[in-house]
Chains A and B, each alone.
Chain A
Amino acid sequence: MSGTTRKRSFWSILMALTLVALLTACGGSSSSSGGTTSGASPSATGPKNALVRCPSNTNTTAASPETGQIHLVVAGWASTPAEDALVKQGLQNFEKLHPNVTVTWTPIPGDYATKMRANVASGNVPDVFYLQPPMAQEYIPAGKLLNLSPYMARDHVSPSTYYPSLMQDFDCADGTVFGIPKDWNSLGLFYNKTLFQQAGLGDPSNWTWDDLKNAAQKLTKRGSSPANSVYGIALPADASRWGAFLFANGGQMVSADGKQALFNSQAGIQAAEFYTSFELNHTGVMPGDVGASWDGDAFGKQQVAMTLEGGWMIPFLAQNYPKVQYGIAPLPIGPSGKRGNLLYTNAWAAYSGTKYPGMAWELIKYMTGADYQTQVLHDGFALPTLTSLANDSYFQQNPGVKVLQDGAAYGQPDFYGVADTEIHNDVSNALQSIMLGKQSATDALNAAAQKVNTWIQQNVAP
């Protein structure tokens, strides 16, 4: 919906026309979206996201940046002091560019989505804030977010300059944009070079599933107890890791509208059997088995030779286990000849009720622009969402980070629509049940799918 106005005198007419266009687009018409009155400006719509309904009422024009003294409240979280410093630095730079603006950064510790929900319920919402995919599917249809498409069209920020797989979660059904991905991460195969050398294993960059299986066998050296053993790979009972194997095997988590579980397909069962086989034949462990709090910890303690993690591992290992010699390889190729990966991202978004929509957009534009995105990358904090940075010199110096960046090409978001929480819980429980030998992969996944489908039938609003 790009309701860009070229002449302010025609504002009301354009408004009416865009409203008509909006109503027809949301009324199920299959005509191309975004086509509005002004032919000159490009339609700024991103990938269409069938999981999220478009709001019935939203801004269709872009406000110009407000003048006078402006105070913007910005909310998010700070997973590490480094992230906090990075965001503060970015916001300070923004203040320098706009001397009439003061920005208050209010990171929310703990359960971010829950606290934001309370803010929305009480109408006390920050002007600009981090948006998680599960939040997006509630905030967008309810009209709580500023429609960014008109702004992107006016300022010639094309949605296609961002990775479509990252944009998707923050768009609605017709591709209208409500959030711009702020940074992201994907999974890589972290491998311990020292242990690989000892086992006579080479570069795992072009491995298949079978190679992974054989390598895990070679790398495992079992002692008298798990504590003094070395295992091939650490894989947690977690849907947010297994999904990569499901996709590599050509499977899907849910149907396109998010209302039907599909992970118990033949591809899913095969992927679950493969994923859990490491634990069952003792060439892999869950992190707790070796006294580690998570995979990264087990990998740092060199009790496992491989694990599947994302870019957050890099600062973690540098800080806690600087002596570990490791490499990062793409995830192994599945039987279907494809790789799979999971993408984790959050966006910057603005509240639809903000007093300063124009300036809120300026802030989002800055934080998702090339300047700040370069800083995000060079800080080693996360990956930049702009495709134009894919050839940044940083990647030549850090080939492992490049491997993670390449994940955007073959990965899918780790987000599955209305039943997202339920799917993550039930699939993780199913995996654990298989790993503990309590259920076969078929039984466990069928039971989980049944549970997810019932949940959707009962709880998705009519």
Chain B
Amino acid sequence: MQLAASKARPGGPPGTRRGLPFKINRRRLTETLTAYTFLAPYLFVLIVFTLIAVVTALTLSFFYVDFGFTTPIFYGFRNYLNIWYDLTHDGDFAVGLRNCVEYTIGVVTLQTILALFLALLLNQKVRGRGFFRTVFYLPAMTSSVAISLIFYWLYQPQGGINYVLSLLHIQGPAWLENPSTALLAIMLLNIWTTAPTFMLMYLAALQDIPSTLYEAARVDGANSWQMLWKITVPLLRPTTFAVVALGSIGAFQMFDQAFVMEGASGAPLRSTLTAAMVIYDTAFQKSLMGLACAQAFVLFIIIFAVTLLQKRYIDVNIQY
């Protein structure tokens, strides 16, 4: 940046020498241009794939659009009114959102606790730490569709999980056929696959906590339990916010696992229908692109609101 600016000076047109404001503006201009040149590739991607897409989706949500067959018809707020009707009459989107809330609460709570637990475990000076880190992280590196297919087999009435249960003389349920266990089954799968990523985040944060704090606490006679609750957990709050927020966003958008294991209709009895699946179904099976865009915006607003609440109640600013 410095280099670019100093080069620009001698080569500049006579106008630059006339007054101070002009000179500064030119230098700023050059700097800004340089900055944007470097940013251009990213901005291009952002504008094309995010900004234009979002604006188009917002526009489409006010139209009746069937994606390439007839010209769009302006609908005003009709798509949103239809969503309101759906939400108040136990429609698919209402069920999808309710499942998402249930799923998010279950997954985020358990995976956060599990991630913290695993991170604390791996933060100890134990033998074979590197090995365990790799093993714990493996599920996160596998494709979610592949994992879903493996779990699909494990969850069959005579599959792996019920076999293990039968050794303990427990008759396992038909996990994926029963409306009261199907969502739970997908929750367990998802906790298992996403907890390791968040474990890594906790692990990094744990290593940032100065050891002097623990030494001081030990001098004051604190035991490890007290140190965990009074030092570690409070100091991890910014990380916990990140883990909870990212986990919630991911959970609210859950699609692939349920889609692979239970199909597009969210069988059994819509118990695994998620908001994202309803949006997919509306857009591509029923070809109501406008309504799907409106549903996507409603989902976005909900996720945004939830994240803001989490930021307000969990996040703190910590400086060592």
Contact = CB atoms under 8 A, between A and B. Distances in A.
A428 interface: yes
A58 to B, nearest CB: 14
Contact of B265 (A142, A425, A458): A425
Interface string B56-85: 000000001011111001000000001001
Q: Choose among B82, B159, B176 the residue with the greatest number of A CB atoms under 10 Å from its CB.
A: B82
A429 B156 CA distance: 21
B68 A117 contact: yes
Contact of A227 (B69, B82, B157): B157
Contact of B68 (A120, A227, A429, A454): A120
B285 interface: yes
Given A422-B286, A432-B268, A454-B89, A121 B67 contact: yes
Interface stretch (A12-20, A175-183, A285-293): A285-293
Given A288-B157, A428-B265, A436-B179, A461 B174 contact: no
A290 B91 CA distance: 31
B288 interface: yes
B304 interface: no
A31 B66 CA distance: 32
A142 B286 contact: no
B36 interface: no
Contact of B67 (A117, A226, A454): A117
Given A117-B287, A138-B287, A461 B265 contact: no
A226 B156 CA distance: 13
A22 B159 CA distance: 60
Given A117-B284, A433-B269, A458-B82, A142 B174 contact: no
A289 B157 contact: yes
A289 B157 CA distance: 7
B284 to A, nearest CB: 5
B270 interface: yes
Interface string A411-426: 0000000000110010
Contact of A459 (B69, B73, B270, B286): B286
Interface in A285-332: 286, 288-291
Nearest to B177: A288
Contacts of A114: 284-285
Contacts of B286: 421-422, 459
A221 interface: no
B209 to A, nearest CB: 48
A421 B157 CA distance: 29
Contacts of B68: 117, 120-122
Interface string A104-147: 00000001011001001110000000000000001101101000
Contact of A225 (B67, B171, B288): B171
Contact of A461 (B67, B73, B176, B177): B73
Given A459-B82, A459-B291, A291 B70 contact: no
Contacts of B176: 288
B157 A461 contact: no
B109 interface: no
Given A117-B284, A290-B157, A291-B158, A461 B269 contact: no
Contacts, number: 73
Given A111-B284, A291-B158, A454-B85, A144 B69 contact: yes
Interface string A428-448: 110011001010000000000
A120 B69 contact: yes
A117 B70 CA distance: 12
Nearest to B81: A458
A114 B82 CA distance: 24
B177 to A, nearest CB: 4
B85 A462 contact: no
Contacts of B288: 459
Contacts of A433: 269
A142 B69 contact: yes
* Majority-rule SS of B interface residues: loop
A225 to B, nearest CB: 7
Interface in B268-313: 268-270, 281, 284-288, 291
A282 interface: no
A289 B156 CA distance: 10
A138 B69 contact: yes
A138 B157 contact: no
A461 B171 contact: no
A461 B70 contact: yes
A213 interface: no
A241 interface: no
B174 A289 contact: yes
Contacts of A289: 157, 174, 177
Contact of A286 (B64, B158, B177, B270): B177
A98 interface: no
B173 to A, nearest CB: 11
Contact of A462 (B67, B73, B265, B287): B73
B147 to A, nearest CB: 19
Given A139-B69, A290-B157, A461-B66, A421 B174 contact: no
Contacts of B70: 141-142, 461
B269 A432 contact: yes
Nearest to A286: B177
Interface in B157-209: 157-159, 171, 174, 176-177, 179
A454 B73 CA distance: 20
Contacts of B157: 226-227, 288-291
Contacts of A218: none
Contacts of B156: 291
B86 to A, nearest CB: 9
B258 to A, nearest CB: 15
A449 to B, nearest CB: 14
Contacts of B287: 117, 138
Nearest to A461: B64
Contacts of B67: 117, 121
A383 B281 CA distance: 31
A451 interface: yes
A298 to B, nearest CB: 11
Contacts of A288: 157, 174, 176-177
A454 B92 CA distance: 12
A459 B288 CA distance: 8
A121 B64 CA distance: 15
15 contacts: A113-B284, A113-B285, A121-B67, A122-B68, A138-B66, A138-B69, A144-B69, A227-B158, A288-B174, A289-B157, A291-B156, A428-B265, A429-B269, A458-B82, A459-B286
Interface of A: 111, 113-114, 117, 120-122, 138-139, 141-142, 144, 225-227, 286, 288-291, 421-422, 425, 428-429, 432-433, 436, 438, 451, 454, 458-459, 461-462
Given A142-B69, A288-B157, A458-B82, 15 more contacts: A117-B67, A117-B68, A117-B284, A120-B68, A138-B69, A139-B69, A227-B157, A227-B158, A291-B156, A291-B157, A432-B268, A458-B85, A459-B286, A461-B64, A461-B66
4 closest Cβ pairs, A-B complex: A121-B68, A288-B177, A142-B69, A291-B158
